Chain A
């Protein structure tokens, strides 16, 4: 009986645990100006006023543009570079393979804040401070390790003999690659892309340190400098609304691709 109860209660507890903080942000974002300090969990008279404020604030709209642009560029570049490296690691025999994987692992553990001071100094002298490439470059180097590990693990599982088999059956090399290898490799590449996007979308350390204006400031950094509709208004509800807006893509991606994300996070984590 107790085991049965646990089997039902366990999942319920997990969902409550993950969802309550989200619901709180959502409900806060729907509270009107007078109700923001009422100490209740649910809004008494929900309003979309805060969302209108947020989308009329340049600071937020430019940050949203920057976040989307920078994260997408970083994702595409990171996955492209990681695919080349992971293919070599999984398929070719060459000395230094272990070195590359070790370097990647070391960088994955690097305390990013240690680099912020020198990068701040270097970026200012080479003109990368407060620009899109100024953020894309650090995002690349910190997402490449995870991408390379994930992709190498995926590529090792691909039955590459099928490429030759297809060619024996009369396919051209390009057809064999396009029709056989690409469909097999795509899930891995896609998984790496999602994880990379999450990293770039989530970053705060580089976002606040290497930007200063709406030119390149991303959403997490902008939120920390947010003031409401007027300088004298507490920005609480507006921040909550902005928080909900930037959480929507995350929830959408998780809903659509949960299996791939789980596969990527645990790829090879326990093999051997």
Chain B
């Protein structure tokens, strides 16, 4: 963020102020002080609840420590990381999480773009469509997950019955259980992506599209050569936010399968180790690795794809 260029008379005024009051100037210093004072409470809460526990997680991850056996706590160095990274379960959970993330985000991008196009063109019932698309966004993830679980369950479900699938146990196989989880995620979070893409669509210059049409560009050419390139910023931001969000998936897995049949995700593993097993040492190692992978994904997006977040989020 660069300061907006100030009119010359203000710059002169500040310089005169600096001459009178020494470097910085009384007014400039007062403004800085006020700025920091107003931001301090929010910053304290944000950093206090994240930075300190994160450091503590790093510290705990170097110990063998179970809450049920506080006396047995001892320093083990990086051994917890070695245990996690050489365990088959960790890699299986990483694979599950990556599959869920990749499929969810890919499908959402396509469906979300279709939704955005519909919303962009709609003339009548605009309000109704936007309202209905916001419901999945607002609904509690756990509530939606229960809905999907009961819809596909062997006893209470209607899916097998209505679609004539006999007694197919959706949650009995890894692939079909993952399919239900992915469907639940897609339903819940497509609205968010489609609203971001809708805002992106609104930014596509109409003259450009008209010019392309006049020059004889086909529909597909207009989409791939004009519309999508002009929406690049919106698409990348939507992708980044949804990828990071999908990678943290926890609620839906907890409710639908409780991690059974190879549907456990990295977040679920961290929860199970720290809270269920109260193995804070090992669990913290998983948590730190989860955090590291999120940082890695964000870095790939920002450095690799050049997502300019400050600009994309409206910073000038």
A residues touching B (Cβ–Cβ < 8 Å)? 7, 10-11, 13-15, 17-19, 21-22, 24-25, 28, 36-37, 39-41, 81-82, 84-85, 87-89, 92-98, 100-105, 107, 109-122, 137-138, 140-142, 144-145, 148-149, 152-153, 156, 198, 201-202, 204-205, 208-209, 219-220, 223-224, 234, 236, 239-240, 243, 246-247, 250-251, 253-255, 258-259, 261-262, 265-272
Report A-chain residues with C-beta under 8 Å of the C-beta of B254: 204, 208, 224
Q: Is B95 an interface residue (CB 8 A)?
A: no
- DSSP majority for the A interface? helix
Complex alpha-carbon distance, A209 and B278, angstroms = 11
Report B-chain residues with C-beta under 8 Å of the C-beta of A243: 140, 143, 146-147
Looking across the interface, which residue of chain B has its beta carbon closest to that of A27?
B158
Report A-chain residues with C-beta under 8 Å of the C-beta of B94: none
Q: Is B275 an interface residue (CB 8 A)?
A: yes
- 6 nearest A-B pairs in the assembled complex, by CB-CB distance: A268-B314, A94-B35, A39-B161, A117-B274, A10-B118, A141-B49
Q: Is B263 an interface residue (CB 8 A)?
A: no
Q: Is B248 an interface residue (CB 8 A)?
A: yes
The verdict on A11 contacting B122 (CB below 8 Å), with A41-B162, A111-B291 known, is yes
Of B57, B147, B158, B198, the contact of A115 (CB 8 Å cutoff): B57
Check B199–A270 contact: CB distance below 8 A.
Answer: yes
Would you give the shortest CB distance from A266 to chain B, in whole angstroms? 4
Check A7–B132 contact: CB distance below 8 A.
Answer: no
Complex alpha-carbon distance, A15 and B128, angstroms = 9
Tally of contact residues, B, Cβ under 8 A: 109
Check A111–B48 contact: CB distance below 8 A.
Answer: no
Check A255–B131 contact: CB distance below 8 A.
Answer: yes
Complex alpha-carbon distance, A64 and B241, angstroms = 30
Complex alpha-carbon distance, A148 and B48, angstroms = 17
The verdict on A88 contacting B56 (CB below 8 Å), with A111-B247, A140-B45 known, is no
Check A144–B46 contact: CB distance below 8 A.
Answer: yes
User: What per-residue 1/0 map shows which CB atoms of B124-135 lie under 8 Å from chain A?
Assistant: 010111111111
Further contacts, 12 of them, CB under 8 A, given A41-B158, A93-B28, A111-B287: A10-B118, A18-B191, A21-B151, A24-B151, A36-B156, A39-B160, A81-B45, A84-B38, A85-B38, A103-B43, A261-B138, A269-B237
Report B-chain residues with C-beta under 8 Å of the C-beta of A19: 132, 135
Check A113–B267 contact: CB distance below 8 A.
Answer: yes
Check B42–A223 contact: CB distance below 8 A.
Answer: no
The verdict on A141 contacting B46 (CB below 8 Å), with A14-B132, A117-B287, A223-B146 known, is yes
Q: Is B34 an interface residue (CB 8 A)?
A: yes
Counting chain A CB atoms within 10 Å of each CB, the highest count among B28, B157, B202, B315 belongs to: B315
Check B45–A269 contact: CB distance below 8 A.
Answer: no
Check A18–B251 contact: CB distance below 8 A.
Answer: no
Complex alpha-carbon distance, A95 and B2, angstroms = 10
Looking across the interface, which residue of chain B has its beta carbon closest to that of A110?
B50
